[in-house]
Structure 1
Amino acid sequence: MEVEIRPNITGRILDIGGGGEGIMGRVYGNQVTAIDISQAELDEAPEGFEKILMDAADMSLPEASFDNVTAFYSMMFISKSKHEAVISEATRVLKPGGRLYIWDAAFDEADPYIVHLTIRLPEETIETTYGVFETEAAQSATYLIGLCQQQGLDLLVEQTFGDQFYLCFEKPV
Protein backbone atom coordinates (compact mmCIF):
# COMPACT_ATOMS: atom_id res chain seq x y z
CA MET A 1 0.00 0.00 0.00
CA GLU A 2 1.30 3.44 -0.88
CA VAL A 3 0.65 6.56 1.21
CA GLU A 4 1.73 10.05 0.21
CA ILE A 5 2.10 12.80 2.81
CA ARG A 6 2.17 16.34 1.48
CA PRO A 7 3.08 19.24 3.77
CA ASN A 8 -0.33 20.96 3.81
CA ILE A 9 -1.04 21.20 7.56
CA THR A 10 -0.37 24.59 9.15
CA GLY A 11 0.05 25.41 12.83
CA ARG A 12 1.10 23.32 15.81
CA ILE A 13 0.69 19.55 15.46
CA LEU A 14 0.34 16.97 18.23
CA ASP A 15 1.29 13.60 16.73
CA ILE A 16 -0.17 10.63 18.64
CA GLY A 17 2.15 7.63 18.48
CA GLY A 18 4.77 9.79 16.79
CA GLY A 19 7.78 7.67 17.67
CA GLY A 20 9.28 5.00 15.39
CA GLU A 21 9.50 6.35 11.86
CA GLY A 22 8.29 9.75 13.09
CA ILE A 23 6.46 10.44 9.83
CA MET A 24 4.80 13.71 10.86
CA GLY A 25 8.01 14.94 12.49
CA ARG A 26 9.94 14.22 9.29
CA VAL A 27 7.48 16.24 7.21
CA TYR A 28 6.61 19.09 9.57
CA GLY A 29 9.74 19.39 11.76
CA ASN A 30 9.45 21.81 14.66
CA GLN A 31 5.67 22.21 14.16
CA VAL A 32 5.35 18.75 15.73
CA THR A 33 5.14 17.56 19.30
CA ALA A 34 5.16 13.77 19.10
CA ILE A 35 3.86 11.70 21.98
CA ASP A 36 4.34 7.98 22.37
CA ILE A 37 3.84 5.56 25.24
CA SER A 38 7.14 3.85 24.32
CA GLN A 39 10.48 5.50 25.07
CA ALA A 40 12.15 3.06 22.66
CA GLU A 41 9.88 4.29 19.82
CA LEU A 42 10.67 7.92 20.67
CA ASP A 43 14.40 7.13 20.73
CA GLU A 44 14.10 5.51 17.29
CA ALA A 45 12.44 8.59 15.76
CA PRO A 46 14.64 11.09 13.92
CA GLU A 47 15.62 14.46 15.42
CA GLY A 48 14.06 17.79 14.50
CA PHE A 49 10.85 17.82 16.54
CA GLU A 50 9.76 17.63 20.17
CA LYS A 51 9.23 14.12 21.58
CA ILE A 52 7.41 13.40 24.85
CA LEU A 53 6.79 10.10 26.64
CA MET A 54 3.03 10.21 27.27
CA ASP A 55 -0.11 8.09 27.21
CA ALA A 56 -2.50 9.48 24.57
CA ALA A 57 -5.44 8.36 26.73
CA ASP A 58 -4.31 10.60 29.61
CA MET A 59 -2.43 13.63 28.26
CA SER A 60 -0.83 16.17 30.57
CA LEU A 61 -1.24 18.93 27.98
CA PRO A 62 -3.30 22.12 28.25
CA GLU A 63 -6.79 22.28 26.78
CA ALA A 64 -7.04 23.82 23.29
CA SER A 65 -3.25 23.95 22.88
CA PHE A 66 -2.84 22.47 19.36
CA ASP A 67 -4.08 23.53 15.94
CA ASN A 68 -3.96 19.92 14.73
CA VAL A 69 -3.74 16.37 16.04
CA THR A 70 -2.45 13.54 13.84
CA ALA A 71 -2.52 9.77 14.28
CA PHE A 72 -0.54 8.03 11.55
CA TYR A 73 -1.14 4.28 11.84
CA SER A 74 -1.17 4.56 15.62
CA MET A 75 -4.78 3.76 16.59
CA MET A 76 -4.14 0.14 15.55
CA PHE A 77 -1.43 -0.09 18.24
CA ILE A 78 -3.54 1.47 21.00
CA SER A 79 -5.68 -0.93 23.01
CA LYS A 80 -9.28 -0.72 21.82
CA SER A 81 -10.34 -0.14 25.43
CA LYS A 82 -8.45 3.18 25.28
CA HIS A 83 -9.73 4.43 21.90
CA GLU A 84 -12.59 6.48 23.33
CA ALA A 85 -10.26 8.15 25.86
CA VAL A 86 -7.66 8.88 23.16
CA ILE A 87 -10.23 10.56 20.91
CA SER A 88 -11.61 12.48 23.91
CA GLU A 89 -8.13 13.72 24.83
CA ALA A 90 -7.32 14.60 21.21
CA THR A 91 -10.52 16.66 21.07
CA ARG A 92 -9.70 18.34 24.39
CA VAL A 93 -6.25 19.54 23.29
CA LEU A 94 -7.51 20.72 19.88
CA LYS A 95 -8.26 24.41 19.50
CA PRO A 96 -11.74 25.31 18.23
CA GLY A 97 -11.54 25.05 14.44
CA GLY A 98 -8.62 22.62 14.81
CA ARG A 99 -8.36 19.40 12.85
CA LEU A 100 -7.82 15.74 13.70
CA TYR A 101 -6.18 13.65 10.94
CA ILE A 102 -6.19 9.84 11.10
CA TRP A 103 -4.45 7.44 8.71
CA ASP A 104 -5.00 3.79 9.62
CA ALA A 105 -6.16 0.33 8.63
CA ALA A 106 -9.47 -1.51 8.85
CA PHE A 107 -9.38 -5.13 10.00
CA ASP A 108 -11.76 -7.60 11.64
CA GLU A 109 -9.10 -9.45 13.59
CA ALA A 110 -5.43 -9.14 14.38
CA ASP A 111 -4.25 -12.70 14.24
CA PRO A 112 -1.89 -11.03 13.31
CA TYR A 113 -2.82 -8.09 11.08
CA ILE A 114 0.11 -6.82 8.97
CA VAL A 115 0.29 -3.94 6.50
CA HIS A 116 3.28 -3.14 4.28
CA LEU A 117 3.53 0.58 3.47
CA THR A 118 5.47 2.70 1.04
CA ILE A 119 5.30 6.21 2.52
CA ARG A 120 6.16 8.97 0.07
CA LEU A 121 7.32 12.15 1.79
CA PRO A 122 8.55 15.36 0.14
CA GLU A 123 12.22 14.51 0.75
CA GLU A 124 12.27 10.71 1.03
CA THR A 125 10.39 7.44 0.66
CA ILE A 126 10.07 5.07 3.61
CA GLU A 127 9.29 1.36 3.32
CA THR A 128 7.90 -0.11 6.53
CA THR A 129 5.66 -2.81 7.92
CA TYR A 130 3.21 -2.32 10.77
CA GLY A 131 1.59 -5.23 12.53
CA VAL A 132 -0.58 -6.00 15.52
CA PHE A 133 -1.52 -9.19 17.28
CA GLU A 134 -4.30 -8.61 19.78
CA THR A 135 -7.65 -10.35 20.03
CA GLU A 136 -9.73 -7.20 20.53
CA ALA A 137 -7.85 -5.03 18.03
CA ALA A 138 -10.53 -4.91 15.29
CA GLN A 139 -11.24 -1.42 13.92
CA SER A 140 -12.67 0.36 10.90
CA ALA A 141 -13.14 3.86 9.53
CA THR A 142 -16.83 3.67 10.53
CA TYR A 143 -15.87 2.76 14.10
CA LEU A 144 -13.42 5.69 14.43
CA ILE A 145 -15.85 8.10 12.75
CA GLY A 146 -18.42 7.14 15.39
CA LEU A 147 -15.97 7.77 18.25
CA CYS A 148 -14.98 11.15 16.81
CA GLN A 149 -18.56 12.24 16.20
CA GLN A 150 -19.46 11.28 19.79
CA GLN A 151 -16.85 13.87 20.85
CA GLY A 152 -18.54 16.51 18.67
CA LEU A 153 -16.02 16.47 15.81
CA ASP A 154 -17.31 17.09 12.29
CA LEU A 155 -16.16 14.71 9.54
CA LEU A 156 -14.62 16.66 6.65
CA VAL A 157 -12.90 13.91 4.63
CA GLU A 158 -13.25 10.13 4.46
CA GLN A 159 -11.11 8.24 1.94
CA THR A 160 -10.64 4.49 1.74
CA PHE A 161 -8.05 2.56 -0.23
CA GLY A 162 -8.73 -1.16 0.12
CA ASP A 163 -8.40 -1.84 3.85
CA GLN A 164 -6.62 1.48 4.51
CA PHE A 165 -8.31 4.79 5.28
CA TYR A 166 -7.73 8.50 5.84
CA LEU A 167 -10.07 10.66 7.94
CA CYS A 168 -10.08 14.37 8.68
CA PHE A 169 -12.30 15.97 11.32
CA GLU A 170 -12.77 19.53 12.55
CA LYS A 171 -13.57 20.71 16.06
CA PRO A 172 -16.44 23.22 15.87
CA VAL A 173 -15.64 26.84 16.71
Structure 2
Amino acid sequence: MSQIDPKRFLESEKKHIMLKEDYKDMLILDIGGGGEGVIGSLYGRNVIAIDRRLEELNETNNDSIKVIMDACDLKFTNNQFDVATLFYTLMYMKEEEKIECISEVKRVLKPGGIFEIWDTYIPSYDGGEKDIFVLRLEIDLPQKAIDTGYAVMMKEKEQKMSCIKDILIENGFKIKECNQYDNGLFNIKCEM
Protein backbone atom coordinates (compact mmCIF):
# COMPACT_ATOMS: atom_id res chain seq x y z
CA MET A 1 0.00 0.00 0.00
CA SER A 2 1.47 3.37 -0.99
CA GLN A 3 1.86 6.30 1.38
CA ILE A 4 -0.24 9.42 0.88
CA ASP A 5 1.84 12.57 0.57
CA PRO A 6 1.25 14.61 3.77
CA LYS A 7 1.37 17.80 1.68
CA ARG A 8 -2.15 16.86 0.59
CA PHE A 9 -3.49 17.13 4.16
CA LEU A 10 -5.49 20.11 5.36
CA GLU A 11 -5.00 19.30 9.02
CA SER A 12 -5.84 21.26 12.13
CA GLU A 13 -4.49 20.94 15.64
CA LYS A 14 -5.95 18.14 17.74
CA LYS A 15 -9.44 18.93 19.01
CA HIS A 16 -11.05 17.69 22.20
CA ILE A 17 -14.61 16.69 23.12
CA MET A 18 -16.22 15.10 26.15
CA LEU A 19 -19.28 12.84 26.00
CA LYS A 20 -21.66 11.94 28.81
CA GLU A 21 -24.10 9.07 29.08
CA ASP A 22 -27.36 10.86 28.27
CA TYR A 23 -29.28 7.92 26.75
CA LYS A 24 -29.13 5.04 29.23
CA ASP A 25 -31.74 2.29 28.73
CA MET A 26 -32.78 3.62 25.30
CA LEU A 27 -32.51 1.80 21.97
CA ILE A 28 -29.90 3.69 19.92
CA LEU A 29 -29.14 3.54 16.20
CA ASP A 30 -25.54 4.65 15.62
CA ILE A 31 -24.99 5.41 11.95
CA GLY A 32 -21.36 5.00 10.93
CA GLY A 33 -20.72 3.17 14.19
CA GLY A 34 -17.68 1.24 13.01
CA GLY A 35 -14.05 2.17 13.64
CA GLU A 36 -13.66 3.48 17.17
CA GLY A 37 -17.30 2.72 17.96
CA VAL A 38 -17.60 5.67 20.32
CA ILE A 39 -21.37 5.48 20.86
CA GLY A 40 -21.21 1.70 21.28
CA SER A 41 -18.47 2.17 23.88
CA LEU A 42 -20.81 4.42 25.85
CA TYR A 43 -24.00 2.35 25.65
CA GLY A 44 -22.97 -1.21 24.73
CA ARG A 45 -25.84 -3.58 23.91
CA ASN A 46 -28.35 -0.71 23.69
CA VAL A 47 -26.68 0.29 20.41
CA ILE A 48 -27.21 -1.05 16.93
CA ALA A 49 -24.13 0.21 15.09
CA ILE A 50 -24.38 0.29 11.31
CA ASP A 51 -21.65 0.92 8.78
CA ARG A 52 -21.34 0.27 5.05
CA ARG A 53 -17.91 -1.26 5.50
CA LEU A 54 -17.34 -4.60 7.23
CA GLU A 55 -13.72 -3.71 8.02
CA GLU A 56 -14.92 -0.66 10.00
CA LEU A 57 -17.31 -2.81 12.03
CA ASN A 58 -14.58 -5.41 12.59
CA GLU A 59 -12.33 -2.70 14.10
CA THR A 60 -14.96 -1.87 16.70
CA ASN A 61 -14.32 -3.29 20.16
CA ASN A 62 -17.51 -2.84 22.21
CA ASP A 63 -20.75 -4.67 23.01
CA SER A 64 -22.92 -2.97 20.38
CA ILE A 65 -24.81 -5.03 17.82
CA LYS A 66 -22.99 -4.51 14.51
CA VAL A 67 -24.77 -4.56 11.14
CA ILE A 68 -23.55 -3.83 7.61
CA MET A 69 -26.04 -1.33 6.22
CA ASP A 70 -26.27 1.79 4.08
CA ALA A 71 -27.44 4.87 6.02
CA CYS A 72 -29.41 6.01 2.96
CA ASP A 73 -31.44 2.77 2.87
CA LEU A 74 -32.09 1.66 6.45
CA LYS A 75 -33.59 -1.84 6.69
CA PHE A 76 -35.46 -1.13 9.94
CA THR A 77 -39.17 -0.72 10.53
CA ASN A 78 -40.71 2.69 11.07
CA ASN A 79 -40.65 4.21 14.57
CA GLN A 80 -38.17 1.65 15.94
CA PHE A 81 -35.49 3.69 17.78
CA ASP A 82 -35.52 6.02 20.78
CA VAL A 83 -32.30 7.72 19.68
CA ALA A 84 -30.24 8.00 16.49
CA THR A 85 -26.66 9.27 16.41
CA LEU A 86 -24.20 10.39 13.76
CA PHE A 87 -20.72 10.71 15.27
CA TYR A 88 -18.42 12.28 12.66
CA THR A 89 -20.25 10.42 9.90
CA LEU A 90 -21.88 13.16 7.81
CA MET A 91 -18.42 14.41 6.84
CA TYR A 92 -18.05 11.34 4.61
CA MET A 93 -21.31 11.95 2.74
CA LYS A 94 -22.09 14.06 -0.28
CA GLU A 95 -24.97 16.52 0.11
CA GLU A 96 -27.60 14.24 -1.46
CA GLU A 97 -26.52 11.35 0.81
CA LYS A 98 -26.89 13.60 3.86
CA ILE A 99 -30.45 14.43 2.80
CA GLU A 100 -31.32 10.74 2.24
CA CYS A 101 -29.72 9.66 5.53
CA ILE A 102 -31.55 12.28 7.60
CA SER A 103 -34.83 11.36 5.89
CA GLU A 104 -34.26 7.70 6.80
CA VAL A 105 -33.47 8.63 10.41
CA LYS A 106 -36.78 10.50 10.56
CA ARG A 107 -38.57 7.33 9.42
CA VAL A 108 -36.97 4.95 11.95
CA LEU A 109 -37.14 7.24 15.00
CA LYS A 110 -40.09 6.89 17.36
CA PRO A 111 -42.32 9.95 17.79
CA GLY A 112 -40.48 12.22 20.22
CA GLY A 113 -37.24 10.39 19.40
CA ILE A 114 -33.88 12.13 19.78
CA PHE A 115 -31.38 12.66 16.95
CA GLU A 116 -27.89 13.82 17.90
CA ILE A 117 -25.12 14.78 15.50
CA TRP A 118 -21.46 15.51 16.20
CA ASP A 119 -19.43 16.71 13.23
CA THR A 120 -17.10 19.36 11.87
CA TYR A 121 -16.91 22.26 9.48
CA ILE A 122 -15.17 21.31 6.22
CA PRO A 123 -14.14 24.15 3.89
CA SER A 124 -14.90 23.94 0.19
CA TYR A 125 -12.16 22.41 -1.91
CA ASP A 126 -10.34 25.06 -3.92
CA GLY A 127 -8.71 22.68 -6.41
CA GLY A 128 -5.29 23.06 -4.79
CA GLU A 129 -2.75 20.61 -3.46
CA LYS A 130 -4.47 20.16 -0.07
CA ASP A 131 -7.36 17.88 -0.99
CA ILE A 132 -7.67 15.70 2.12
CA PHE A 133 -9.31 17.12 5.23
CA VAL A 134 -7.90 15.61 8.44
CA LEU A 135 -9.55 15.94 11.85
CA ARG A 136 -7.56 14.73 14.85
CA LEU A 137 -9.76 14.23 17.88
CA GLU A 138 -9.41 13.29 21.52
CA ILE A 139 -12.69 11.97 22.92
CA ASP A 140 -13.23 11.72 26.67
CA LEU A 141 -15.80 9.12 27.71
CA PRO A 142 -16.70 8.41 31.34
CA GLN A 143 -14.67 5.17 31.33
CA LYS A 144 -11.84 5.93 28.86
CA ALA A 145 -10.29 8.35 26.40
CA ILE A 146 -10.04 7.72 22.66
CA ASP A 147 -7.37 9.40 20.55
CA THR A 148 -8.31 9.15 16.88
CA GLY A 149 -8.44 10.86 13.53
CA TYR A 150 -10.84 11.15 10.62
CA ALA A 151 -9.83 11.96 7.04
CA VAL A 152 -11.92 12.61 3.96
CA MET A 153 -11.33 13.70 0.37
CA MET A 154 -12.55 17.30 0.27
CA LYS A 155 -14.08 17.31 -3.21
CA GLU A 156 -17.89 17.61 -2.85
CA LYS A 157 -17.63 17.35 0.96
CA GLU A 158 -17.91 21.01 2.04
CA GLN A 159 -19.88 21.05 5.28
CA LYS A 160 -21.39 23.79 7.43
CA MET A 161 -23.56 23.38 10.49
CA SER A 162 -26.14 25.77 9.02
CA CYS A 163 -26.68 23.45 6.02
CA ILE A 164 -27.18 20.43 8.30
CA LYS A 165 -29.67 22.40 10.40
CA ASP A 166 -31.60 23.32 7.23
CA ILE A 167 -31.87 19.64 6.21
CA LEU A 168 -33.05 18.70 9.70
CA ILE A 169 -35.71 21.42 9.77
CA GLU A 170 -36.90 20.50 6.24
CA ASN A 171 -37.41 16.95 7.57
CA GLY A 172 -39.55 18.12 10.49
CA PHE A 173 -36.96 17.89 13.26
CA LYS A 174 -37.17 20.40 16.10
CA ILE A 175 -33.72 21.73 17.05
CA LYS A 176 -33.30 21.50 20.85
CA GLU A 177 -29.59 22.31 21.18
CA CYS A 178 -27.12 23.60 18.67
CA ASN A 179 -23.49 24.34 19.46
CA GLN A 180 -20.80 25.47 17.06
CA TYR A 181 -17.37 25.78 18.60
CA ASP A 182 -14.45 28.02 17.66
CA ASN A 183 -12.45 24.96 16.63
CA GLY A 184 -14.95 24.10 13.85
CA LEU A 185 -16.66 21.23 15.65
CA PHE A 186 -20.42 21.28 16.08
CA ASN A 187 -23.13 19.35 17.91
CA ILE A 188 -26.84 19.37 17.08
CA LYS A 189 -29.50 17.70 19.21
CA CYS A 190 -33.04 17.56 17.88
CA GLU A 191 -36.34 15.72 18.30
CA MET A 192 -39.04 14.34 16.05
- When normalised by structure 1's length, the TM-score is 0.96
What letter matches 2:171 in structure 1? Q
Corresponding residue to 2:165 among 112, 136, 145: 145
Corresponding residue to 1:123 among 138, 143, 156: 143
Separation (CA, whole Å) in 2 of partners of 1:113 and 1:54 = 25
Separation (CA, whole Å) in 2 of partners of 1:79 and 1:70 = 18
**Which structure dedicates a bigger proportion of its chain to strand?**
1
Separation (CA, whole Å) in 1 of partners of 2:62 and 2:185 = 28
Residue 6 of structure 1: how far off its partner (Å): 0.5
Query: Secondary structure of 1:20's match?
Result: coil
Corresponding residue to 2:58 among 33, 36, 43: 43
Residue 186 of structure 2: aligned partner: 165
Residue 18 of structure 2: aligned partner: 4
Query: Secondary structure of 2:172's match?
Result: coil
RMSD over aligned CA atoms reads 1.0
Residue 30 of structure 1: aligned partner: 45
Separation (CA, whole Å) in 1 of partners of 2:141 and 2:164 = 25
- When normalised by structure 2's length, the TM-score is 0.87
Contact 2:37/2:62 (8 A) holds in 1: no
Please identify the structure whose Cα radius of gyration is greater: 2
| Count of equivalent residues | 171
Residue 19 of structure 1: aligned partner: 34
Structure 1, unpaired ranges of 5+: none
Segments ≥4 residues shifted beyond 6 Å: none
Separation (CA, whole Å) in 2 of partners of 1:161 and 1:125 = 20
* Aligned-pair identity (%): 34
